[in-house]
């Protein structure tokens, strides 16, 4: 009985530590919307190297669960982005190619757009212009 309790306590401690780490470094919120074979990930917050790591983990989980043919990365809520955002987009593109699908970017704010333009990202992953984000409308 004692062995089970100590194992459970260790698991609880690891879970608590993970949650505390997520709270401290969680700079970006990720909202998912699965519509048929299209998955939309709406990002909100500051996308720096800490946030990018979290976004990539959440994106991997969402892609594994939905197995979409089309991934839309909606940047409408991104208030700041450094070059780590490039890694997020490239990971998305690589995963979607592996799934036989495609990725697009939507609602990229001017500051993030400059980062993507400088890196030539729009030659690899297209920018979908003129679309409205669903996330901001439903509250």
Query: Which residue matches tokens 């212009």?
Result: 129
pTM for this structure? 0.75
pLDDT band at residue 12, thresholds of 50, 70 and 90? very low
What would the pLDDT profile of 22-68 be if each residue is shown by its tens digit? 444 457 999 999 998 999 999 999 999 999 999 999 999 999 999 99
Q: What is the mean pLDDT of residues 96-121?
A: 97
What would the pLDDT profile of 58-97 be if each residue is shown by its tens digit? 999 999 999 999 999 999 999 999 999 999 999 999 999 9
- CATH assignment of 24-129, among 3.30.870.10, 3.40.50.720, 3.30.750.24, 1.10.10.10: 3.30.750.24
Q: What is the largest CA-CA distance in the chain?
A: 61
The pair of three-digit structure tokens given for residue 70, joined into one six-digit string: 């089309």
> Could you please report the per-residue DSSP string of 6-32?
HHHHHHHHHHHHHHHHHHHH--EEEEE
């Amino acid at each position: 009985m004692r062995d089970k309790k100590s194992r459970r306590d260790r698991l609880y401690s690891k879970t608590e530590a993970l949650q505390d780490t997520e709270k401290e470094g969680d700079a970006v919120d990720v909202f998912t919307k699965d519509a048929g074979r299209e998955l939309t990930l709406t990002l909100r917050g500051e996308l720096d190297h800490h946030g990018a790591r979290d976004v990539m983990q959440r994106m991997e989980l969402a892609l594994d669960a939905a197995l979409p043919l089309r991934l839309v990365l909606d940047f409408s809520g991104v208030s700041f982005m450094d070059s780590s955002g490039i890694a997020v987009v490239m990971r998305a593109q690589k995963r979607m190619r592996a799934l036989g699908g495609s990725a697009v970017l939507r609602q990229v704010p001017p500051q993030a757009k400059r980062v993507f333009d400088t890196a030539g990202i729009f030659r690899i992953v297209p920018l979908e212009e003129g679309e409205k984000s669903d996330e901001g409308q439903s509250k």
